[in-house]
Amino acid sequence: MPSRFDTLAASLRNSNLDAVILNPGPTLTHLSGLHFHLMERPVVLLFAPGQKPAIVLPELEMQKMVGQDMQTFPYSENPADWDAAFRAAIASLGLDGKRVGVEPRQLRLLEFNYVRNAAPAADFPDASSSLAELRLRKDPLEVQRMKRAVEIAQNALESTIPLIKVGMTEREVSSELVVQLLRHGSEPEMPFSPIVSAGLNAANPHASPTDRKLQRGDMLVVDWGAAHDGYISDLTRTFAVGDVDEEYAKIHKVVQEANAAGRAAGKPGATCASVDKATRDVIEKAGYGNFFTHRTGHGIGMEGHEEPYMRGDNMQLLEVGMAYTVEPGIYLPGRNGVRIEDNMVITENGAESLSDMPREMRVVG
Quick one: 285 and 143 in the same domain? yes
Q: Hey, which residues does 326 pair with through a beta bridge?
A: 342
- Same domain? For 97 and 178 the reply is no
Burial class (CB in 10 A: 0-12, 13-18, 19+), 338: buried
- Segment 174-214, tens digit of pLDDT: 999 999 999 999 999 999 999 999 999 999 999 999 999 99
Which H or E element spans position 156? helix 140-160
Which of 103, 134, 165 is the last residue before a domain boundary? Answer: 134
Tell me the pairing of strands 54-58 and 71-75: parallel
Residue 158: pLDDT band (50, 70, 90) is very high
Q: What is the pLDDT of residue 334?
A: 95
Are residues 253 and 149 both part of a single domain? yes
Closest CA to 318 of 365, 359, 264, 246: 264
Q: What is the pLDDT of residue 3?
A: 81
Q: Which residues pair with 222 in a beta bridge?
A: 196, 237
Encode pLDDT of 268-283 as tens digits: 999 999 999 999 999 9
Domain end call among 134, 154, 169: 134
Q: Percent of the chain, pLDDT > 70?
A: 99
Residues 201 and 62 in one domain: no
DSSP 201-250: GGGSTT----SPBP-TT-EEEEEE--EETTEE--EEEEEEESS--HHHHH
Per-residue confidence band for 1, with pLDDT thresholds at 50, 70 and 90: very low
Q: Give dist(CA 305, CA 363) in Å, integer.
A: 30
Per-residue b/e over 84-114, b at no fewer than 16 CB within 10 Å? ebbbebbeebebeebbbbbbeebbeeebbeb
| Alpha-carbon gap, residue 51 to 90, rounded angstroms | 12
Q: Per residue in 31-80, pLDDT tens?
A: 999 999 999 999 999 999 999 999 999 999 999 999 999 999 999 999 99
Reply yes or no on whether the pLDDT at 169 is more than 80. yes
Range of the domain at 65: 2-134
Q: Considering its fold, how many domains does the chain have in total?
A: 2
pLDDT digits (tens, 9 = 90+) for 304-328: 899 999 999 999 999 999 999 999 9
Mean pLDDT of the chain: 96
Q: What is the mean pLDDT of residues 233-251?
A: 98
For residues 123 and 187, membership in a common domain is answered with no
Same structural domain, 293 and 231: yes
Q: Nearest-5° angle of CA 309, CA 312, CA 315?
A: 70
| Domain boundary, last residue among 91, 116, 134 | 134
pLDDT at 2 over 70: no
Residues 152 and 100 in one domain: no
At 337-356, the pLDDT tens digits run 999 999 999 999 999 999 99
Do 150 and 127 share a structural domain? no
The predicted pLDDT at position 243 comes to: 96
203 with 120, same domain: the answer is: no
Q: What is the mean pLDDT of residues 15-36?
A: 94
Whether the upstream peptide bond of residue 308 has omega within 30° of 0, thus cis, is: yes
User: Distance between CA 209 and CA 308 in Å, rounded?
Assistant: 28
Cβ partners under 8 Å of residue 223, min gap 6 = 194, 195, 234, 235, 236, 339, 341
Nearest to 44 by CA among 96, 103, 94, 130: 103
Under DSSP, the state recorded for 316 is P
